[in-house]
Structures are given as C-alpha cells and as structure tokens.
Structure 1
C-alpha cells in the first residue's frame, strides 16, 4: 500500500456514526464539499482528549466561516465509544464523529500504526483537507502519535 497524498481521491469506505446501523460512506460525504478530516489513535486517550479534539472544537466556527462544510473526526474505535467521546465534548452539530472499527479507512489511506498498549492496530494522528473528494492538504505526525502538525491551528486550508 501507498500512503494517501495530496491530489489523491479519498477512498470509498464506510465509517459509522453513533451506531453500527448508521453507515456513512466517506467518499460520498466529501463529494461536492470542503471537508476537514482529522484522525486520532483512540477516543478518550490523553493527547486526543486534552489537545487534539479540543483544538478542532475551538476552531470550529473559524473553519466553517472559511468555507469548510464538514469537520470529521475518525478513530479506530467502535461507534458507541466514539459517539460517547463526542458526547462528552458536545461535538453534535460541530464535528462528525465517525468510527473506523476495523481500521478499513485507516488501511485504505495507509495511515495505520501498531500500538499494542491501545489494542493494536490504530490510526496514525493526522489531518487533511478534502475538496470535492480530493485531498488538498495532508499533515501526518512524524511519529504517528505526536501533536506537532495535525492540530486545527496548523491547517493551511490551501
């Protein structure tokens, strides 16, 4: 596999919002829209809860006023855990919390990392800007988990 990069098309993969019954195809969601998608290694983990997700909550209005139609958070968790994490941070109507329970999306974009203490295969930490299904900007943390380039204030929104 080859890691997704700028100018690549977002793959057609189903993610889950709130429950296994609510499938959201990420390619369909991104069609005709400008989307910020960021991924975290796991819901409720310290860096994700204290810094990463809050950075997008704080910048939500600014991102949407700059033309972003959707902000999406992805993690390799079951949809119930991912929804509960979103509820704790009151993301409803601000950030779409889409679970990638089998890492199908994370594998399709080749942005996985093996973190045995967190349960094994997880998503690397990254952010991307997608316009009409095409990746315009991709910011992958150099070590896969740090917080140096994937926070909301680091987006260039090219």
Structure 2
C-alpha cells in the first residue's frame, strides 16, 4: 500500500460525459461529494476542474480506475489513466488510481438509503461515486501512483 501525503484531496469518477468530484481530508479520512463536471469539450471540463483545484488547494488527486469484474482493463480504464495523466500535467500534483469497481453500486445504495431517486439521483450519482472512490482511497490506499514517472507522453488537452 502506498502512503499518501496528508492534506486536502480531490477525487474523480471519470466518465466521458460527466466527471464526479469529491473532496476530503486525508488526516480525517472523510470524503464528501463536491461537484459534477460536464461540458461539450475537454477544455470546458478542465476549466471547471481548475476552478475546483484553485478553490480547494489539494495536495493530491485520486482517480477511480474502472475495470471488468475480474480486474481486467477495458477502454474506459485507458481513458481514466489518460485523464489522470492530464490532471498531473496540468496541475503538477501526484495522482493516485483507486479500484472503482464497486463505487457506483455503493453510491446508488447510499442515495437510495437517503431516499434520493430519479432525476435527483442522476444529478449527484457521479459525485457520490467519487466520494466512494475517495473513501476507498482513505481506507485502503491506492492501487497505483503517478507522478510523471512513466514513459507515456502527458498531454494537457
């Protein structure tokens, strides 16, 4: 398990249409849903993320890494890794990847417990999934860490 720095953390549940964002404090080990980012272009999405980074001043970023139930990777895994590398390239913060296989189910059950259904649930599902990813990071650590160390080119677009 990788030891993460203490301080504010932003976590992301990456999706091609929407990106859920959660915020938490590593020392307290508590995560909270924060925002759902969407837009017609990557530039619009990254501008919204930049605003959150300026506001919350995180010391690290966490990205959920989706895989098949058996742990094998797929296209969204590749896109999530690319997203994480772009975050690092833009904000020069360490990025941790966390297994997110159960985050959406966890988010749905939390929202159902809170009696949030239908359109209201859809509006916050991604950020609650990001909260689940971040809570998993605080509880169990990261699967992987990225700080510009791999040979793939980091693109900021």
TM range (shorter): 0.3 to 0.5
The structure with the greater share of residues assigned to strand is 1
Higher CA-based Rg: 2
Q: Give the alignment's TM-score, normalised by structure 2.
A: 0.36
Q: Which has the higher helix share?
A: 2
Q: TM-score, normalised by structure 1?
A: 0.36
